[in-house]
A and B are shown apart, each in its own frame.
Chain A
Amino acid sequence: MAIRRGRGVAAINYPTGMNLGGDPTQALVHSTPTGNFMVTLSSVDLGQGMKQIMAQICAETIGVPTDRVVIDTADTDTGPHCMGTFASRGTHRAGNAVIQAAKEARQVMLEVAAEELEVNASDLETDGQGNIQVKGAPQKSISIFDVALSAHFKRGRSISGRGMFLIPRSYPEKETGAMKPSTCYAHACTVAEVEVDDETGEVTVLTVKNVFEIGRALNPKMVEQQLVGGSWMGISHALYETTEPYYPSRDHGGTDFNQYLMPGPGDLAETEIIVLERPSADGPFGAKGPGEMCANPQIPAVANAVFDAVGVRIDTLPITPERILRALKTQAAG
């Protein structure tokens, strides 16, 4: 009886969105009298930070700092339609809609600034700090604060925009299955290293090295929180979780966190995250949807590492000590 060490690899891809059902999201953007920008949506923030990302996308597009943007979302009396937050679609779909709306608002903003500065709008640029200036002559400038005041009180303009993202619904061809189920794909490769106690069947995940290709890390700190959390969830799926431990029997299902097993902080592996960015052709600033994908590759990587350690295949999830011991017993008998 011994502690045995093994490692396994898995490589995957993951689709963004759900074109098989049509996939619309709309957005509205308008400025306040003092040049702050309201983004109105009906998209839902599940805790992953959607509001923050939409604020950064709007800010980048209009050319103001992120703290000048306010997100008003998930009120059906004010927010235009969003299909929902699922299918790794939130950042991609809503982000595209916000860009389109923000571009329209930016154009009006530049037109008002052009009137105030008596130049052509096409000769203007934003400095990202809250000012609009003439290209090549930054000393000729006006603050966005003043532009918004002018639009509201003097010029009678609405600095606002409408945005929408829609991919036509794809209907699978009956006989061949030809279809366009999604847009861009995110990618990952994970190497997991485990120790398996061949006396108890217990698995300890020592390290998980994840490489994720996600199009564009719009906010790297938030990308990190999502990818690390996903990686932990993958380990949890591989080794711990189920509501029906003796599936297909319905018996012995857990009803609280005492019975439904998940790893605690001490059970989590040393986690390494490496991010590659190949911008997608159709995502906001090249972003793809890594929200779901990041929890997938750890499962087969751990399964393959268990085999590498003790030489038995567990092809049924979760990979419990009971399943490992039964397989070891069968192996020893055979």
Chain B
Amino acid sequence: MELRKDYFADVRKDGLHEIGQGRPRLDSPGHVTGKTAYFADRNFPGMLHLKMVRSPHHHARIRSIDTSEAEKHPGVVRVLTAKDVPHNVYTILILIQIGPEDETVLADGKVRWKGEAVVAVLAETERAAQEAAAKVKVDYEVLPAVFDMEEALKPGAPLVNEYHGQNYYLYDSGECRKVRFGDVDASFAQADHILEQSYQSSPIEHAPTETTGCVVTPEGNDRFTCYTNTQAMFFTLDNASIILQMPGSKLHFVGGTVGGGFGGKVDVIVEPIAILAAKLTGRPVCFIYSREEEMQISSPRAAEKVVIKDGVMKDGRIVARKVTGYTDAGAYSRHSPYGAQKGAAHYPGPYTIPNVWIDTYCVYTNRTPSSAMRGFGVTIGDFALEVQMDKLARLIGMDPLEFRFINAYRDGDMKAHRQPTEGAALIECMQAASRAANWPVAEKYMAMSSYRKGV
């Protein structure tokens, strides 16, 4: 790595004692010698293991659940169904007043994706829990499912989630989050070229070394200690408090040493049911995702579809950009309505474009609910935007890097969501890249600056 101190030296105070120093991490020796304690290193006498019975169908009505054989299985201590969960229908962003509650801790009457949790089995060993889970009999009436976002948005498509009433998240702005800036239609009419292209991604797994999980112990003082690898301590505690209808003062969460998160551990999935199990059995409970559950059950990065229509002039100026983004939330909201909204604020990218129209949709389908992941709401948008930039440059016969200089945002430029640009540095990054990659651009671009006089 090379620190290029020559850029922005005029606005930076170097020479501090501790900041800017490459001090060795104090936790590294523990990590590399295996001494660091993770939540799963906790082992308590009498600890039970929780395994989920999961839906084999993408969409189905539950006619009946028979747990009698599972309960008789040797080693089984307790079997939990929806009726055991005090506040079974929840949504995690309710803490910041983003509803509606649309997801069940344990399925109640219906399953909406293949892998959805239906019954929780608690047993003395993992093996007994796994074997007993296989003995739970669930009678399903399979329903039509929808997997494609465009199909889901058509009239007459199977309804994924009754708590929404339609297959998209309803924002206060309507069926999508909108950004309107300037007049795109008038500018398209005057543009030298129009290019409309569509981009698509598939779901992606966070792939942490340590799978999602927790260990819960009932304490002598009527409290519960939850050792967890959540990325958000109080967010999880407060949601657990709502789901369990239990005062937050009864809950004590211990975490903070996590074997990789990448956004995959901000949903509140394992803790509430494990705490409930500890409460109902009076014993410590361990609930850890298998690698298969981590891959196919825990939320992936959403698949996205991004349609970009640009109006560009022969001299390289983009005069209008219209973006329609679709986020595949799967069957439940989790963080996806927020991710789609974050996308609306991110487009049209780090470029100053005078006319912008953005619609971002959060769409429900019968698949594993997606949620946050590194670059949430932005990563796939950047893929689409930057491939589109390459296509536009080639369309007008311009060098792709020079084309970006022409459109790059600078201090003071107004963004489409009506925030003035501050602290821009895109131009300087491109200048450094031009030199490092031996990708020369015209001298006038190398002389540009993100600064503007008086800003």
Contacts and interface: CB of A to CB of B under 8 A. Distances in A.
A44 B256 contact: yes
B258 interface: yes
Nearest to A23: B96
Given A44-B258, A276-B4, A211 B436 contact: yes
Given A18-B342, A44-B256, A301-B386, A241 B234 contact: no
Interface stretch (B8-16, B47-55, B128-136, B156-164): B8-16
Contact of B3 (A42, A74, A220, A279): A220
Interface in B203-222: 203-205, 207
Contact of B2 (A7, A188, A275): A275
A85 B261 contact: yes
A242 B302 CA distance: 10
A47 B259 CA distance: 6
B395 to A, nearest CB: 12
B389 to A, nearest CB: 8
Contact of A217 (B13, B20, B252, B384): B20
A244 interface: yes
B400 interface: yes
Contacts of B26: 51-52, 55, 67
B382 A44 contact: no
Contacts of B172: 174
B203 A243 contact: yes
Nearest to A85: B231
B232 A84 contact: yes
A178 B178 CA distance: 9
A44 B437 contact: no
B254 interface: yes
B378 interface: yes
A17 to B, nearest CB: 11
Contact of A187 (B234, B295, B401, B424): B424
B232 A297 contact: no
B230 to A, nearest CB: 7
Contacts of B261: 44, 46-47, 85-86
Most chain A beta carbons < 10 A, residue from B22, B252, B259: B22
Given A247-B203, A250-B114, A9 B401 contact: yes
Nearest to A46: B261
Given A81-B234, A253-B296, A177 B178 contact: yes
A174 B173 contact: yes
Contact of B387 (A63, A278, A295, A313): A313
Contacts of B259: 47
Interface string B424-450: 111011101100110100000000001
Contacts of B204: 237, 241-243
Given A277-B7, A300-B382, A218 B423 contact: no
Nearest to B405: A11
Given A242-B203, A301-B386, A177 B114 contact: no
A248 interface: yes
A56 B21 contact: yes
B144 interface: no
Nearest to B258: A46
A57 B423 contact: no
Interface in A213-247: 213, 215-224, 227-228, 230, 233, 237, 241-245, 247
Contact of A52 (B27, B391, B439): B27
B11 A278 contact: yes
Contact of A181 (B98, B198, B231, B417): B417
Contacts of A274: 1-2, 4, 432-433, 436
A12 interface: yes
A253 B432 CA distance: 40
Q: Kindly list the 7 A-B residue pairs having the minimum CB-CB distance in the complex, ordered from nearest.
A: A74-B256, A84-B232, A177-B179, A300-B386, A221-B22, A128-B17, A191-B437
Given A46-B258, A278-B428, 20 more contacts: A9-B390, A60-B19, A82-B232, A85-B261, A128-B17, A177-B417, A184-B422, A187-B429, A218-B19, A221-B22, A227-B1, A245-B202, A274-B436, A279-B8, A279-B13, A295-B379, A296-B383, A303-B387, A307-B390, A315-B200
15 contacts: A12-B349, A12-B386, A13-B350, A13-B409, A44-B255, A44-B256, A56-B18, A75-B252, A84-B232, A213-B428, A244-B300, A260-B207, A276-B428, A296-B382, A315-B197
Interface of A: 7-15, 18, 20-22, 42-47, 49, 51-52, 55-57, 59-60, 63, 65-67, 73-77, 79, 81-87, 128, 169, 172, 174-182, 184-185, 187-191, 209, 211-213, 215-224, 227-228, 230, 233, 237, 241-245, 247-250, 253-257, 260, 262, 272-281, 285-286, 291-293, 295-297, 299-301, 303-304, 307, 313, 315-318
